[in-house]
Structure 1
Amino acid sequence: MVKLLDIGLFALALASSAVAKPCKPRDGPVTYEAEDAILTGTTVDTAQAGYTGRGYVTGFDEGSDKITFQISSATTKLYDLSIRYAAIYGDKRTNVVLNNGAVSEVFFPAGDSFTSVAAGQVLLNAGQNTIDIVNNWGWYLIDSITLTPSAPRPPHDINPNLNNPNADTNAKKLYSYLRSVYGNKIISGQQELHHAEWIRQQTGKTPALVAVDLMDYSPSRVERGTTSHAVEDAIAHHNAGGIVSVLWHWNAPVGLYDTEENKWWSGFYTRATDFDIAATLANPQGANYTLLIRDIDAIAVQLKRLEAAGVPVLWRPLHEAEGGWFWWGAKGPEPAKQLWDILYERLTVHHGLDNLIWVWNSILEDWYPGDDTVDILSADVYAQGNGPMSTQYNELIALGRDKKMIAAAEVGAAPLPGLLQAYQANWLWFAVWGDDFINNPSWNTVAVLNEIYNSDYVLTLDEIQGWRN
């Protein structure tokens, strides 16, 4: 890695046009005070105790509100970014934008005082650079940022075996293949088979992985007339030599509002049901608990169809639990983890499904159900700019202590291979969401998709043939 020769901050100070100076040595951490940055719709304040420098920046209440750090670098170099903040009004999220390009979302846990959070990495170009901290959820305080030269990533130490001792041959072969490519290549993926075909038409390449959703097999949807070909699509992609990932937008078993604002088919959202997972789990003899198990058993039928067809499944239930916008995460981490354990026992032990590779899909440590029932870690990242998503990658490395492979299970923007390699973000696979994302040039231009799908770093369907061997 090239040595940084000169790094400095050029900022618009509140009462001066002077250039702010780095406060630490060039080759170590360098801190930049937020009050010395360029402020857009934001202001400097001193009311909250514990800040450094002359104050902190507040006023993040409109979408365009931001602060901009101008940084000059003599060479191209990768840095770890940390942000000193205070989220005194509850959990928050901010966007970090490097050089008006890739967007990275950073989570700020709630707290009463200033603290620092890892915010991923930034690859500074030789010359002038900008780092923007942009509103997102808003209503937080920014004290400073710190840049530290990134250390080379050590070799991964991935668990050699699946957790299920009875995992079938197909699941073991898939897991072995995934371990063989992890850190060396990324597997291309797409939500829904027809969108994968659209990619083939645009790029001449087909995604290696296709993700399907068991949503319409949920009993509360089936009883209202839904049908699905998700299992057939999964089998078709498997028969073509591809890899299959499966999620489940679990329509609540009961209690759907079915109003003009919240139709019955949106019953996986917290806002669309009064189904209370905490109360349900607290009463295993209750009717709602019975319906919960009924739903799991209904999905087991579909997973058994995949097992009978020889399809190993990257199984990703209870996705995005920590967001709280789905009912399985609405009551906090403990009910969500308890439900995960019930799912694991019911499917793996009771139903004897041995073709499942269990993929957890939240980042925060409080939500993690534990190593014994999780084979792969993942995150869903919706950030524009086709960036490397290094913030979430590094957080998952820490969560799994680098013993678990890490996937970008849902993304809005497919990541550019060059950035993935530069940031050492060794995602196992990515899968772009469907309508409004894969076919939306605001998220993925055809030119960018061609660059990605024709890269040597990105594995496509034709390049993974024979993975079973």
Structure 2
Amino acid sequence: MKQSKSLFFVVILLVLMGCTGMKKNGYVPVNKNAIPEAVQLLDFLYSIQGKYTLTGMHNFASDINRYDQVVDSLTGKTPVVWGSDFSFNALGNNQCEFRHCGPLNLTVPGNKGISCGELSLSPIQQRQLIIDTAIKRHSEGRIITLMWHCCWPTNGDDCNGDDIWRWADNLPSQQEWDELTTDGTALNGIWKKQMDGIAMCLRELQNAGVPVLWRPFHEMNGVWFWWCNKPGENGFKKLWIAMYDYFTNYHKLNNLLWVWDANAPRNNPGDEAGPYADYYPGSEYVDVLAADVYHSDWKQSHHDELLELGKGKIISLGEVGNLPSVEVYERQPKWSWFMPWGYFIQNKENIKIAKDIYNHPHSINLDMIDFTDRIYKLKK
């Protein structure tokens, strides 16, 4: 009888693990058809969870290697995580106001002495440069993370930055939002056409066997982007699930690990970011939970609340402005990677702390990665 009861509980446990996507050493990708490279990358992230943090760096398409070189000059290290942005083509008389996100057609921020001029390459050529560089960096053992500052769908990939940075008083109405997220509407169709262009880029990476930490619609709990400030079941959650479904089931993009990347919650008047849970689409649609931390806002709650929401899933720092202090870094050990946002790495605060953080015993740089047979593991 004891043996029967034991067997019964084992079976129940296995069933529950299957239902939640769990396995012995963590979770499987939410996309059950994920390519082996994506499965292995997620396994690697779980293998270092709470023990180490991968170093990272964001690079803009218009100067694709610049900030990796800055990190090397400051620390003597090459980051493991390589990030970039599919971005947009900036229009209008105020183009330079949006240079901080690296529009595809403008010179990169942080280049002293270079004006905010237009580049000779087209947005299509710039995105191809991102793809080609991502493939090359992956072959070196780097881990690729990509995102997308996208225009409101009716403008495709070409818009004034004010079309993206709407702020609270100019966000889409609930009627517009419902049309956007309802399959079969005119606006939903336009949005899918816009997404098709990005899907083609991601497919090229899939064909090359490159897994991608994909973090679309970041900082959705803030009040600044058009996709922000829509909490609840009929809000951001519907947008995320619609993209997940379109990329996964229609485009068959199986190289993506889905990184849900909120802003660290804050109560700054006019610059608020709501609670994580109000915007979380559910564990069945998320592989990694991330936070963006700016203004040196290193509250312990930003780390701990994300851990609680993820219930064991990987957490990371999708973007940071200033790096954490060594004390904070050691007090928040579950971040699986961090990634400074482009030119922020050149801030005087980061110049002071970068060497300590990138060379910290808790940090993993590229020189510690063994990528033999295109499998991520730590060097012995």
**With structure 1 as the length reference, what TM-score do the two structures score?**
0.59
Letter in 1 for 2:214: W
- Which of 222, 225, 228 is equivalent to 1:326? 225
Give the 3-state SS of the residue equivalent to 2:240 in structure 1.
Answer: helix
Per the alignment, residue 38 of structure 2 pairs with 171
Aligned CA distance change for structure 1 residues 298 and 327 (closer, same or farther; 3 Å): same
Structure with more of its chain in helix, by fraction: 2
Alpha carbons 2:181, 2:239 under 8 Å: kept: no
Letter in 2 for 1:270: R
Give the 3-state SS of the residue equivalent to 1:322 in structure 2.
Answer: coil
1: CA distance between counterparts of 2:39 and 2:358? 27
Letter in 2 for 1:431: M
Task: Show the 5 A alignment for 1:129-144.
Answer: none
Give the 3-state SS of the residue equivalent to 1:407 in structure 2.
Answer: strand
2: CA distance between counterparts of 1:323 and 1:468? 34
Per the alignment, residue 123 of structure 2 pairs with 226
CA-CA distance at 1:306 after TM superposition: 1.0
Give the 3-state SS of the residue equivalent to 2:145 in structure 1.
Answer: strand
2: CA distance between counterparts of 1:377 and 1:283? 25
Per the alignment, residue 121 of structure 1 pairs with none
Task: Show the 5 A alignment for 1:380-391.
Answer: 380-384=292-296, 389-391=299-301
- Which of 28, 46, 52 is equivalent to 1:185? 52
2: CA distance between counterparts of 1:183 and 1:383? 25
Give the 3-state SS of the residue equivalent to 2:316 in structure 1.
Answer: strand
Alpha carbons 1:252, 1:273 under 8 Å: kept: no
2: CA distance between counterparts of 1:206 and 1:238? 13
Alpha carbons 2:213, 2:259 under 8 Å: kept: yes
- Which of 151, 158, 162 is equivalent to 1:251? 151
2: CA distance between counterparts of 1:339 and 1:236? 32
CA-CA distance at 1:336 after TM superposition: 1.2
Aligned CA distance change for structure 1 residues 174 and 250 (closer, same or farther; 3 Å): same
- Which of 307, 312, 315 is equivalent to 1:397? 307
Alpha carbons 1:267, 1:273 under 8 Å: kept: no
Task: Show the 5 A alignment for 1:358-437.
Answer: 358-362=258-262, 364-384=276-296, 389-401=299-311, 403-421=312-330, 423-435=331-343, 437=344
Per the alignment, residue 12 of structure 2 pairs with none
Alpha carbons 1:255, 1:275 under 8 Å: kept: no
CA-CA distance at 1:285 after TM superposition: 3.8
Q: Deviation string for 1:177-216 (max 9, x for gaps)?
A: 1111110011001111421121112221011101111113
Percent pairwise identity: 32
1: CA distance between counterparts of 2:247 and 2:75? 38
Q: Which runs of 5+ in 2 are unaligned?
A: 1-23, 60-64, 91-102, 106-117, 263-274
2: CA distance between counterparts of 1:203 and 1:283? 48
2: CA distance between counterparts of 1:266 and 1:239? 37
- Structure with greater Cα Rg: 1
Give the 3-state SS of the residue equivalent to 1:357 in structure 2.
Answer: strand
Alpha carbons 2:26, 2:43 under 8 Å: kept: no
CA-CA distance at 1:174 after TM superposition: 0.5
2:220 is the counterpart of 1:317: no
CA-CA distance at 1:273 after TM superposition: 7.3
Give the 3-state SS of the residue equivalent to 1:428 in structure 2.
Answer: strand
1: CA distance between counterparts of 2:166 and 2:247? 24
Give the 3-state SS of the residue equivalent to 2:153 in structure 1.
Answer: coil
Structure with more of its chain in strand, by fraction: 1
2:351 is the counterpart of 1:439: no
CA-CA distance at 1:284 after TM superposition: 3.9
Alpha carbons 2:322, 2:347 under 8 Å: kept: no
Give the 3-state SS of the residue equivalent to 1:321 in structure 2.
Answer: coil
Alpha carbons 1:380, 1:409 under 8 Å: kept: yes
Letter in 1 for 2:300: S
